[in-house]
Every structure is written in C-alpha cells, then in structure tokens.
Amino acid sequence: MKAQFHLALPCESIEVTKTFYIDTLGATQGRQTDKWIDINLYNNQLTFTESGTFNFKFKNYKLDDNVLPSFHFGVIIGIETWGTLYRKLLRSNQEVTTESTFMENKVGEHLSFFITDPNGYMIEFKSFKDKTEVFTS
C-alpha cells in the first residue's frame, strides 16, 4: 500500500473551509461532525477542527529568487493535474502566488505554486520534472 499523510489543523469555520477545499480545489469530503471535517486532498487526509481565532506568524526563507513561507504544507501531483488545477485557480478569484520552477536544471527540478486557504494556511502544489527525484539530494 502506498503511504498517505494525515494532517490535523485548526480552523475558524468548518463551512468556509469545506467550501474552499471542495469547491475551489476540487477535493472531496470525508466524515464530518459539527466540530470537525475530513477532506480528501489527492488521497491524503486533512482534518480541520473548528477552534476559533488563532494566530500563526509566517516566517519566510529564500529559495533561488523567491521568498517562500517556512510554514506550509503541500501535495506532489502529476504535471497534467498540476496544470489543470493551476489554470482553474487562475480563472477563479483566488490569489495564486509564487508560481515558479524551482531548482531549474538541477536534481529535484519542480514546478510549484502556492495558494492560501481561508484559515491562512499556505498550500504548495508541486510537480517534479522527474518523480524519482522527490527525495534525491
């Protein structure tokens, strides 16, 4: 069985979070109660728990000529899926940031873009030029 990740995060509103992940990103819904929801994001489980107001300070780092958020999570997807999602988001009213090719002409070359969810989490979508280089240094 291929491993999947589970990530549990606080959120301010279950309904706003649900709308973003399902309607905007095209994810599917799993189990839900009045206080938490599971989201299936490319066969990985995100669990959002309604927790009220919270605060994260995003510290940044520089990679090549880009300033990126240190605190973010993401998913590695194929180039066709990456392109379809990227074009969909560009047509929507969502702000897509830092679309770039990282490590160009080096081991681990990949396309990435970031989007912020309604809770302030930065999500990175990556597509590697060579998927065997995901963990190669």
Instruction: Decide: 75 and 126 in contact? Cβ < 8 Å.
Output: yes
Domains and CATH numbers, the chain: 6-50 (3.10.180.10), 60-131 (3.10.180.10)
Separation CA 113–CA 77 (nearest Å):
12
Confidence of residue 24 (pLDDT cuts 50, 70, 90): very high
Closest of 39, 107, 51 to residue 75, by C-alpha: 39
- Supply the pLDDT for residue 117: 92
**Does the pLDDT at position 92 exceed 90?**
yes
More confident residue, 54 or 13: 13
pTM of this prediction exceeds 0.75: yes
Separation CA 77–CA 88 (nearest Å):
15
Q: What is the pLDDT of residues 116-126, one digit of tens each?
A: 999 888 899 99
Confidence of residue 36 (pLDDT cuts 50, 70, 90): confident
